[in-house]
Structure 1
């Protein structure tokens, strides 16, 4: 290789170690002695001899960095798989409680005869794809089989909408209501390490119900606020959804089995039908994520003067959420509820 080619490699090489080797090779091809090269580059003559000899026998590829295997892993791939299976099985045990790092360490010691420090146990669990997170509640009577059956959604649409309505003329809406009031929630905040700031937790009981509904396909939303939840307010909410549905289209409103969610409420509307999700399955309704968004982003960690203040703040918060239809669509879209799925 000519001098200009080696000089170009020196300029383009990003690795400092390889650049030193190329510089040594460049000086060697220019006629400098190996002792002089070692002095110019502030490296040992032994290193220069090794680089030049490697180049003469293997070419430039011999100057590449050699793989660094590092310290041998304490656990083999099969042992890591066994550990991951143990963590997955024990994390949600029917006996309750929770799996601690000490329990994982004891399992590794008893099964594989290997000891880990606690800090390294956390690192190992992260490498296996686990994280320390809060669980979601699940009712003991919940049935996954029933939920999966419900997700065969086109059949539910056919059974719950008028026969003359084509499937591509159906708008799927999700509806729910939540209670907001002076018995408010507190949530995490950013704070200085070593401190635990206090947030207001009222002792009064004034509250309001927010009836909310949305269509993930279009980003359309409808809501009302009421002092309590009953069939009358539910009827008013359905009236809003019916009015928001374009002429020639049909609204299929998905909701839970609350006592005021009566199917006959839809009889007053020729462009609206009701479908109820299976019992004990709130996670099938994306409105639950909406309520969480409202609380976490705006309504948590605050106090309210009374009912009127609750209504005003809930109205502001709802309008803040719905002013970006794309956010509504992304948060609440469910693949099983799409017309073309």
Structure 2
């Protein structure tokens, strides 16, 4: 039987702080909790039942405490899961980490080892980083030199255009997409152990779609050129005009690709009674083009977690989505393709060099 009141006053305060400190390692807090309960007179069996442990485990922690003190019991069995660094060392490590973007613990462990002669395992280093407030994440992509003022100006212009749009005018967004004939695994729910898999493809061909989208009617004209260029741009603009015979002006908003401003497009716009009015998006702002969201819906419907035996089957599935699914089922994904724009800036982010 273990006698109570074996903890020193200082150790008892330390163990109480471990139990109450929210950021403390869970395993260390459980050991502290067990020793505190033993010190108050509970038996190993009672503590094991309360903490869902084995009573021999509790007995071993008590034995280790008497032989080696609390520091030994607090030390994680993973050789580094619990930090053995001082507060100053942890502060220096945080400053060092904030000055770089380490992709693995190898570099971090090497730094700690060389700087402080403290050695961590992989799992121990992960615990240390989590306790210090770091997480493993991927940086999000920021549009290159996307000017905040130009984004705001475009959004204001677009809202004004829609609010004052006469009945004999229409607005289309346009862009090109090039889905490749490749299997694209994507996340989904599956029963544990079922090991879902998708067959890969051997080809590397792709389908070129140069399309446009009217958010009011969800009209989505497109052409399927061999190459997306000035010729396909003119073909698309002509198709938009043909589908809107009652519109006096058709505003087409697209990006600054060279073929969107080339001689073929300029010649088309110079025609008498041309009804197309082109509007350029701000540079590096695909997030201001709703048709990009339509392409995302297309991929989720057609390419993600799907295998096509031949490139022809793949191309037919893409074209069927544009010809059949979009016109007939657009209400089902209308909320995913919107002009709910937002400004992307570099504020509140740490831009990696």
Taking structure 2 as the reference length, the TM-score comes to 0.52
Distance in 2, Cα, partners of 1:169 & 1:335: 24
Per the TM alignment, residue 310 of structure 1 is displaced from its structure 2 partner at its CA by 3.1
Q: Which residue number corresponds to residue 321 of structure 1? A: 326
Secondary structure of the equivalent of 1:273? strand
Distance in 1, Cα, partners of 2:298 & 2:281: 23
Q: Which residue number corresponds to residue 44 of structure 2? A: none
Q: How does 1:182-193 map to 2 (within 5 A)?
A: 182-193=181-192
Per the TM alignment, residue 155 of structure 1 is displaced from its structure 2 partner at its CA by 9.0
Q: Which residue number corresponds to residue 333 of structure 1? A: 338
- 1:245 maps to 2:244: yes
Q: Which residue number corresponds to residue 153 of structure 1? A: 157
Distance in 2, Cα, partners of 1:237 & 1:222: 7
Q: Pairwise CA RMSD of aligned residues?
A: 3.7
Per the TM alignment, residue 283 of structure 1 is displaced from its structure 2 partner at its CA by 0.8
Q: How does 1:191-202 map to 2 (within 5 A)?
A: 191-202=190-201
Secondary structure of the equivalent of 2:176? strand
Distance in 2, Cα, partners of 1:150 & 1:332: 18
Q: How does 1:290-301 map to 2 (within 5 A)?
A: 290-301=294-305
Distance in 2, Cα, partners of 1:249 & 1:274: 14
Q: How does 1:226-241 map to 2 (within 5 A)?
A: 226-241=225-240
Q: 1:330 to 1:133 in 2, by over 3 A?
A: farther
Q: How does 1:1-341 map to 2 (within 5 A)?
A: 95-96=100-101, 103=129, 105-107=131-133, 136-154=140-158, 167-262=166-261, 264=266, 265-268=268-271, 270-318=274-322, 319-327=324-332, 329-334=334-339
Q: 1:96 to 1:196 in 2, by over 3 A?
A: farther
Q: 1:145 to 1:203 in 2, by over 3 A?
A: farther
Secondary structure of the equivalent of 2:209? strand
Distance in 2, Cα, partners of 1:135 & 1:74: 28
Distance in 2, Cα, partners of 1:279 & 1:324: 32
8 Å contact from structure 1 (residues 257, 277) kept in 2: yes
Distance in 1, Cα, partners of 2:101 & 2:321: 37
Distance in 2, Cα, partners of 1:321 & 1:281: 24
Per the TM alignment, residue 218 of structure 1 is displaced from its structure 2 partner at its CA by 1.9
Unaligned runs of 5+ in 2: 1-19, 24-94, 104-125, 343-353
Distance in 1, Cα, partners of 2:293 & 2:102: 26
Per the TM alignment, residue 304 of structure 1 is displaced from its structure 2 partner at its CA by 3.9
Distance in 2, Cα, partners of 1:143 & 1:95: 26
Distance in 1, Cα, partners of 2:300 & 2:235: 28
Unaligned runs of 5+ in 1: 1-71, 76-89, 109-121, 123-131, 159-164
Distance in 2, Cα, partners of 1:94 & 1:304: 46
Secondary structure of the equivalent of 1:260? helix
Secondary structure of the equivalent of 2:207? strand
Distance in 1, Cα, partners of 2:300 & 2:187: 9
Q: 1:334 to 1:94 in 2, by over 3 A?
A: farther
8 Å contact from structure 1 (residues 255, 276) kept in 2: yes
8 Å contact from structure 1 (residues 208, 228) kept in 2: no
Per the TM alignment, residue 284 of structure 1 is displaced from its structure 2 partner at its CA by 0.7
Q: 1:180 to 1:272 in 2, by over 3 A?
A: same
Moved more, 265-274 or 216-225: 265-274
8 Å contact from structure 2 (residues 203, 311) kept in 1: no
